[in-house]
Structure 1
Amino acid sequence: MRELAVELADDPPDLVVSNAATIAPLDARNTQGLPLGLAVNYLARICSCGVWSSRAGHVRRGSLWSAALPPC
């Protein structure tokens, strides 16, 4: 809770996603060939630099997993 309070006191992120999922067909790809399916769990944000970060959980983008990425 304390970390979340500090996070909320910072400048607002460009986008906040919490316990959400965007589903695309499994064969749907972007122009770089990456899957368009996106699943996010816990509190995550995307900064203006385009980097996903999460202090509270794990973020999955396509088939890549990362945990507790540092903020931008």
Structure 2
Amino acid sequence: MKSLLLTAAMVASLAIPAIAEHKKATGYERFVKEIRHELVMLPYYGVFDNLAYKVDGYNVTLLGQVSRPTLKSSA
């Protein structure tokens, strides 16, 4: 009985960091998805615009070319 409880405690202690890492990854993926959504929803974004972004932690760098200066300032 003691060995069963000890084994269960060890498995639980090993599973907690894995669950925390999974939640961290989904938070980062959600952050990147929100950035893309905001760029696509810009009012003057069109087929002749080339918007790209680079994410480094929580720093976002915008890259690309736009056909209208107002789109550049909006992004």
TM-score, with length taken from structure 2: 0.22
Structure having the higher Rg: 2
Which has more helix, going by share of residues?
A: 2
Where relative contact order (Cα < 8 A, 6+ residues apart) is larger, the structure is 1
Which has more strand, going by share of residues?
A: 1
